[in-house]
Amino acid sequence: MNILNESTYFTMRQCDLKRCFVFETAHKSVKLTFCQLLALRNKVNAINLCAHFNEEEHECGIEILLFKNREHVLILDTYQVIALKKFMEDTFSILECAPLAHLSI
């Protein structure tokens, strides 16, 4: 299992053998197919970060994120939301660069 991306709160691994991804946070490890990973990316992208800085729209500053067909839930504060957005963006950039890595080998 290869580490694709690692940050303070999250880690993403790729398992070539099982052709899947593993998303890890401090308290859980979730196996994801590529479609589920794409769905998670869509959900993370859809989080309105600006609302976190507007008390009228977002009083508590907490984001509840259901993913993998609502099997899992993440409860994130604003810092973690920012980190997760960056993490997902970086993960997909790394995945995009994978063919280049093959070429360089």
Partner 1 sequence: MKDLMRQKLGINVDIMDLLNKQIGKEAHASSAYLAMASWCDQNALNGSAELLYEQAAEEREHEMKIFHYINDNGGTATSPEVKDIFHDYSSLEEVYETALEQEINVTKSIHAIVKKCRQVDDYRTEKFLQWFIDEQMEEEKKMRDILDLFELMGGSPLSTKFIDERVKDA
Tell which one of 7, 42, 48, 54 touches partner 1 (CB under 8 A): 42
Question: What crossing angle do the helices spanning 78-104 and 34-46 adopt, rounded to 10°?
Answer: 140
**Closest to 11 in 3D by CA, of 27, 26, 23:** 23
By C-beta, is 4 or 74 nearer to partner 1? 4
Do residues 30 and 69 lie in contact, with contact meaning Cβ atoms separated by under 8 Å? no
Tell which one of 45, 54, 55, 77 touches partner 1 (CB under 8 A): 45
Q: Per-residue x/- mask for partner 1, residues 65 to 104, rule CB under 8 A?
A: ---------------------------x--xx-xx-xx--
